């Protein structure tokens, strides 16, 4: 039976550390969340972020723009936040729910690199690509960085391992592979055009599943003793549940938990860590702001 790596427990440890750090600061860190439209799934995520922030003493400002907003209005909002010295971190809640065409890339790259606490801008992504992961020169993307913390909790030494990342998205898969690479793992990326993915996964000491494909990774895909991190979350119909559905990840948990050395659950694994790393980045942004203004 695998060790179950609880993202909730690790996030609580980070929360306690951040609470102590914020209490020592001479400025209150502040995160601005820009949302276009009113998607309920986005609202759920925003509530989680605001609660975690509040619990550690970080302020949040939720800017809710109507779905009728155009690109110029969103640009004006982000530009104003860039110029607001009381705001230390800015995130743009994706996806947009809008009646007009708004370029996601244009808006995320408009966020000042010093406030890009999601780590999604091309500049921060480029620094990660070049191995600048010391936390001083760029912000690491939250989900991949949270995954690294969970992998460390398994007790495995990442250096000299073989890793497989399933998925190549800009938000999770690609930066996850880069982080593992700069932690000295040998990394293979699996995507929709990869031949015989099961054979590649079977060679891996560390498996990070971020494909958005429910229960894709089966027990017989795994090398015995592998560490498995599941970034997926999908609601499947289930008449036996009161809600009528159950949440599953990209990993067939019931099969894989008997093969893996350590594995994250869904829910309660990667999700809480994404929020924790976002607020951690916001606190770091406030520290950098203090250093820059005091020097």
Catalytic residues: 49
Type and span of the H or E element at 254: helix 253-256
Separation of alpha carbons 156 and 122, rounded Å: 31
Nearest to 143 by CA among 103, 92, 107, 179: 179
Helices 270-294/7-24 angle, 10° precision: 20
- Report d(CA 51, CA 28) in Å as an integer: 16
Q: Percentages helix, strand, coil for the chain, rounded to the nearest 5?
A: 40, 15, 40
Q: Which contiguous run of DSSP H or E holds residue 282?
A: helix 270-294
183 contacts 227 by C-beta, under 8 angstroms = no
Cβ distance 33 to 48 under 8 Å?
Answer: no
**Residue for token pair 């229960």:** 215
For residue 234, give both structure tokens: 């999908």
Pairing of strands 245-248, 234-237: antiparallel
Burial label for 251, CB within 10 Å (0-12, 13-18, 19+), is buried
Phi, psi for residue 5 in degrees, rounded to 5: -90, 110
Short-list 29, 138, 139, 34, CA closest to 86: 29
């Amino acid at each position: 039976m695998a060790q179950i790596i609880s993202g909730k427990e690790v996030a609580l440890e980070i929360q306690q550390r951040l609470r102590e750090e914020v209490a020592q600061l001479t400025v209150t860190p502040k995160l601005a969340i820009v949302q276009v439209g009113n998607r309920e799934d986005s609202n759920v995520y925003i509530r989680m972020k605001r609660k975690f922030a509040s619990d550690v003493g970080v302020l949040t400002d939720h800017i809710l723009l109507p779905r009728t907003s155009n690109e110029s209005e969103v640009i004006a909002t982000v530009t104003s936040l860039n110029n607001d010295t009381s705001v230390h971190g800015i995130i743009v809640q994706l996806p947009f729910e809008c009646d007009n065409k708004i370029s996601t890339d244009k808006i995320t790259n408009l966020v000042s690199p010093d406030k890009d606490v999601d780590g999604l801008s091309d500049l921060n992504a480029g620094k990660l690509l070049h191995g600048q992961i010391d936390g001083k020169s760029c912000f690491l993307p939250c989900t991949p960085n949270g995954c690294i913390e969970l992998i460390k909790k398994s007790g495995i030494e990442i250096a000299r391992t073989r890793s497989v990342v399933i998925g190549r998205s800009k938000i999770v898969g690609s930066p996850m592979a880069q982080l593992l690479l700069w932690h000295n793992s040998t990394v293979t990326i699996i995507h929709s055009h990869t031949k015989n993915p099961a054979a590649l996964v079977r060679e891996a000491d560390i498996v990070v599943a971020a494909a958005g494909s429910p229960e894709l990774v089966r027990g017989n895909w795994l090398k015995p003793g592998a560490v498995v991190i599941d970034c997926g979350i999908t609601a499947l119909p289930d008449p036996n549940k009161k809600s009528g559905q159950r949440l599953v990840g990209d990993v067939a948990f019931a099969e894989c938990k008997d093969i893996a050395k350590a594995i994250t659950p869904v829910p309660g694994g990667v999700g809480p860590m994404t929020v924790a790393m976002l607020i951690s980045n916001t606190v770091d942004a406030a520290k950098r702001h203090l250093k820059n203004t005091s020097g």
